[in-house]
C-alpha cells in the first residue's frame, strides 16, 4: 500500500484536497524536523506533507535537519517520498515557469550531515541512479496532466547557499553539463536512499541563474514565478495521488540496505542501532540485528 511523503520546498507550503487533515509532531532521535507533518488523505491515499523550510520559511537550506526530516517520514510509515523544489536553470531549454523531473545530482554542499551511518555502523548505499524511476515517471505524467510543461530527466547541482552563485560559478556549473541548480536536494536524496525510501524530485524553475544574460538573480522575481508554479504543483500532487496504482509493487530501493551494511554483527554500536530504529526496522527484522 502506498503512503506518500511529500516534502514541499520554497513556494509550496500547503497542499490541496487533503481530507482528515491534522498536524502531527514527530520526535526523532536526530533532532527536530523542519516542522510538524500534515497528514491526511488525497483520493483515498494516505499522505504526509512536510514543509521543508518550516511554515513561514524559517529555516535556510544550510541549516535544514535533513536527517530528522527523512527519519520522521520513515517513522510515520511513508513508503515513497516526492520532493518539490524551486530551482534555477542552467539550460536554455528549461525556462522559468516550467517543471523538470530530475534524474541525476552533483553534490557541492559542504558541512551538512549526509548519512545515518557513523562509526559503529558502516553502510554504503548505491547512488548511481539516485531517484526512483517509477515515482519520477508518475510525477512527470501528473505535471503534464494538469497542464504544466515538464522536462523528463536533468542533472541538478546542489550548492551550499544561502547566497546565490557568482557568475563564474554559474558558468562553470553550466560547462559541467548541469541543467539545474538548487540548495536542498542533497543530502536529502542520499538520506532517502539510506532510509530505503524511493525518492523523486519535481523541480520548479524560477529563474535562469546569473549565467544567462548578465543579470543577477533577484528574489522578488523568483517569488513571482514561484507563486505561479505553486498552484500547478499542488494540482500535480492531487493528480499524482489519484493516479497511483491501487497496489504498490515492491521497489528494489525498498531493500537496498541488504547489500549495503558492512559492519560485522559483534562490532555494531547498539546506541546507533537504536538511533536508527526507524530506517533499520525492516533490515533488523530480516537480519536479526
Q: How many residues does the chain have?
A: 289
Phi, psi of 48 (to 5 degrees): -130, 115
Confidence of residue 15 (pLDDT cuts 50, 70, 90): confident
- Assigned C-alpha cell, 214: 548578465
pTM for this predicted structure? 0.94
| pLDDT score of 229 | 80
Count of C-beta atoms within a 10 Å radius of residue 87? 29
Query: How far does Cα 226 stand from its chain's mean position?
Result: 17
Give me the pLDDT at residue 12, please.
Answer: 65
Helix axes 185-194, 66-75, angle to 10 degrees: 40
pLDDT at site 226: 72
Q: Which residues pair with 84 in a beta bridge?
A: 8, 202
Query: Cα–Cα distance between 257 and 165 in angstroms, integer?
Result: 36
Active-site residue 27, yes or no? no
Residue 91 cell numbers, joined: 539550460
- Residue-wise pLDDT for 252-286, tens only, equals 999 999 999 999 999 999 999 999 999 999 999 88
Mean pLDDT across 122-138: 98
Rounded mean pLDDT of the chain? 93
Tell which residue, 142, 136, 116, 124, has the closest CA to residue 42: 142
Number of CB atoms found within 10 A of residue 81's CB: 27
- Res. 224: pLDDT tops 80: no
The pLDDT assigned to 282 comes to 96
pLDDT tens column, 82-101: 999 999 999 999 999 999 99
Domain count, the chain: 1
Residue 118 has pLDDT above 70, yes or no: yes
pLDDT band at 16; cut points 50, 70, 90: confident
Q: Which three cell numbers stand for residue 88?
A: 534555477
Structure confidence by residue, pLDDT tens digits, 160-188:
999 999 999 999 999 999 999 999 999 99
> 21-42 pLDDT, tens per residue?
999 999 999 999 999 999 999 9
Dump pLDDT digits (tens) for 61-84: 999 999 999 999 999 999 999 999
Distance (Å, whole) CA 4 – CA 11: 20
CA 199 to chain centre: 6
pLDDT score, position 191: 98
Q: Which residue has the cell 562490532?
A: 267
Helix 219-243 with 133-145: angle, nearest 10 deg:
110
Residue with cell 554504503: 124
Q: For the CA atoms of the chain, what is the radius of gyration? A: 18
Output the domain CATH number for residue 273: 3.40.50.1580
Q: Among 6-15, 41-50, 202-211, 249-258, where is mean pLDDT lowest?
A: 6-15
| Banded pLDDT at 239 (limits 50, 70, 90) | very high
Write out the residue range of the structural domain in which residue 238 sits: 3-287
Taking residues 189-216, what's their average pLDDT?
Answer: 89
Give CA separation, 23 vs 49, 115, 201, in Å.
9, 27, 23
pLDDT for position 228: 76
Residue 94 to residue 179: CA distance in whole angstroms: 8
pLDDT band at 214; cut points 50, 70, 90:
low
Of 209, 213, 216, 221, the catalytic one is 209
Per-residue confidence (pLDDT) for residue 288, from 0 to 100: 60
Alpha helices in the chain (DSSP H): 66-75, 133-145, 167-175, 185-194, 219-243, 270-275, 281-287
pLDDT at 289 over 60: no
Q: How large is the average pLDDT for residues 232-244? A: 93
The answer to whether 103 is a known catalytic residue is no
Active-site residue among 107, 207, 216, 266?
Answer: 207
In the prediction, which pLDDT does 11 show?
59
Query: What's the rounded mean pLDDT across residues 146-150?
Result: 96
Amino acid at each position: 500500500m502506498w503512503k506518500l511523503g511529500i516534502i514541499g520546498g520554497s513556494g509550496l507550503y500547503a497542499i490541496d484536497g487533503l481530507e482528515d487533515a491534522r498536524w502531527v509532531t514527530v520526535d526523532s532521535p536526530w533532532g527536530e524536523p523542519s516542522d510538524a507533518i500534515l497528514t491526511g488523505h488525497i483520493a483515498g491515499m494516505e499522505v504526509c506533507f512536510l514543509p521543508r523550510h518550516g511554515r513561514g520559511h524559517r529555516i535556510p537550506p544550510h541549516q535544514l535537519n535533513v536527517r530528522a526530516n527523512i527519519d520522521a517520514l520513515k517513522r510515520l510509515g511513508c513508503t515513497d517520498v516526492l520532493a518539490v523544489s524551486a530551482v534555477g536553470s542552467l539550460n536554455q531549454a528549461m525556462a522559468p515557469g516550467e517543471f523538470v523531473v530530475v534524474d541525476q545530482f552533483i553534490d557541492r554542499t559542504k558541512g551538512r550531515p549526509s548519512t545515518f551511518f557513523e562509526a559503529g555502523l558502516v553502510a554504503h548505499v548505491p547512488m548511481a541512479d539516485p531517484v526512483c524511476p517509477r515515482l519520477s515517471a508518475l510525477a512527470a505524467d501528473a505535471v503534464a496532466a494538469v497542464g504544466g510543461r515538464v522536462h523528463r530527466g536533468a542533472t541538478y547541482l546542489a550548492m551550499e547557499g544561502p547566497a546565490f552563485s557568482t557568475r563564474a560559478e554559474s558558468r562553470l556549473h553550466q560547462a559541467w553539463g548541469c541543467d539545474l541548480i538548487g540548495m536542498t536536494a542533497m543530502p536529502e536524496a542520499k538520506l532517502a536512499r539510506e532510509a530505503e525510501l524511493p525518492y523523486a524530485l519535481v523541480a520548479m524553475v524560477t529563474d535562469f541563474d546569473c549565467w544567462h544574460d548578465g543579470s543577477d538573480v533577484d528574489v522578488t522575481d523568483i517569488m513571482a514565478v514561484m507563486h505561479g508554479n505553486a498552484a500547478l504543483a499542488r494540482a500535480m500532487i492531487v493528480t499524482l495521488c489519484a493516479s497511483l496504482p491501487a497496489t504498490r509493487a515492491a521497489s528494489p530501493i525498498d531493500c537496498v540496505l541488504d547489500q549495503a551494511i558492512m559492519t560485522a554483527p559483534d562490532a555494531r554500536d547498539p546506541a546507533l542501532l537504536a538511533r536508527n530504529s526507524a530506517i533499520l526496522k525492516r533490515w533488523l527484522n530480516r537480519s536479526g540485528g
